[in-house]
A and B are shown apart, each in its own frame.
Chain A
Amino acid sequence: DGGITQSPKYLFRKEGQNVTLSCEQNLNHDAMYWYRQDPGQGLRLIYYSQIVNDFQKGDIAEGYSVSREKKESFPLTVTSAQKNPTAFYLCASSIGREGYQPQHFGDGTRLSIL
């Protein structure tokens, strides 16, 4: 079945450490997104990518980095510069950049500080 796979499900970060969250999709979607969800809040956009080798900052990109070397993959690195990384991270994809195309989401990764 086609879908979006995020790994790991749970991740722990030590002080000063960079960690990478994986997001893979086999839906042949062009656009991919990373969102952060904090308790009691909606999702906020971190980064998005419309095509391979191109990505744009969202509302809360500071302390995060991404790459899009393959259409299927859009990993998110949480750097040591992100001082409050504890949150639930959701990856999403959509067929294209048209607004009516819904975004499909993965199951998420919960990141915590050790």
Chain B
Amino acid sequence: AQTVTQSQPEMSVQEAETVTLSCTYDTSESDYYLFWYKQPPSRQMILVIRQEAYKQQNATENRFSVNFQKAAKSFSLKISDSQLGDAAMYFCAYRSQVQGAQKLVFGQGTRLTINP
């Protein structure tokens, strides 16, 4: 079974600085998808960025980018120019490419605090 581990329960960063959130996963599959979701105090889960495992190029979305290391099974999220609105819980998630596989496997989350 796949597992996702976020080893940093809490992180903090100064506004406008850069922060990197770590995520590692365990799988025997070669094709899969990885996601980062943000959960602000409102508790809604918001998709931040996604990565297809077959793509070597790291995904980017504005200030958010990932460092995907397939061999190391690592999928870290970098937030550049941190803003107060980035404060939230961040969850890393894994999804199999197996036909019919529906489950998103989530890590335990990292609480990110932005210091003004």
Option from B9, B33, B91 in Cβ contact (under 8 Å) with A99:
B33
User: Chain B's nearest CB lies how many Å from the CB of A68?
Assistant: 13
Q: Which residues of the partner chain A approach B91 to less than 8 Å between Cβ atoms?
A: 42-43
List the B residue with the shortest CB-CB distance to A88. B43
Chain B residue numbers with a CB within 8 Å of A58 are 103
Q: Does A90 contact B (CB under 8 A)?
A: yes
Bound complex: CA of A50 vs CA of B100, how far in Å?
Answer: 8
- The answer to the question of A45 belonging to the interface, with a C-beta cut-off of 8 Å to chain B, is yes
A12-66: which have CB < 8 Å to B? Answer: 31, 33, 35, 40-45, 48, 50, 56, 58-59
A50 touches B47 (CB 8 A): no
What is the interface size of chain B, counting residues whose CB is below 8 A from a CB of the partner?
30
Question: A105 touching B45 by the CB < 8 A rule?
Answer: yes
State which residues 59-114 of A face B: CB under 8 Å: 59, 88, 90, 92, 97, 99-100, 102-108
> Contacts of B52 on A, CB cut-off 8 Å?
100
A40 in contact with B103 given A99-B32, A105-B44 (CB within 8 Å): no
Q: A41-B108, A42-B4, A58-B103 are in contact. Are A100 and B44 (CB under 8 A)?
A: no
Say yes or no: B104 contacts A45, CB within 8 Å.
yes
Q: Which of A40, A43, A108 contacts B104 (CB 8 A)?
A: A43
Minimal beta-carbon separation of B84 from chain A (angstroms): 21
- B102 and A107 contact, CB distance less than 8 A: no
Chain B residues engaging chain A, CB cutoff 8 angstroms: 4, 9, 32-33, 35, 37, 42-47, 50, 52, 91, 93, 95-104, 106-109
Contact sample, A vs B, 13 pairs, CB 8 Å cutoff: A35-B104, A40-B9, A41-B109, A43-B91, A45-B104, A90-B45, A92-B45, A99-B33, A103-B104, A104-B47, A107-B42, A107-B43, A107-B44
- Additional A-B contact list (5), CB under 8 Å, known A35-B104, A42-B108, A45-B104: A33-B104, A42-B4, A48-B102, A58-B103, A90-B45
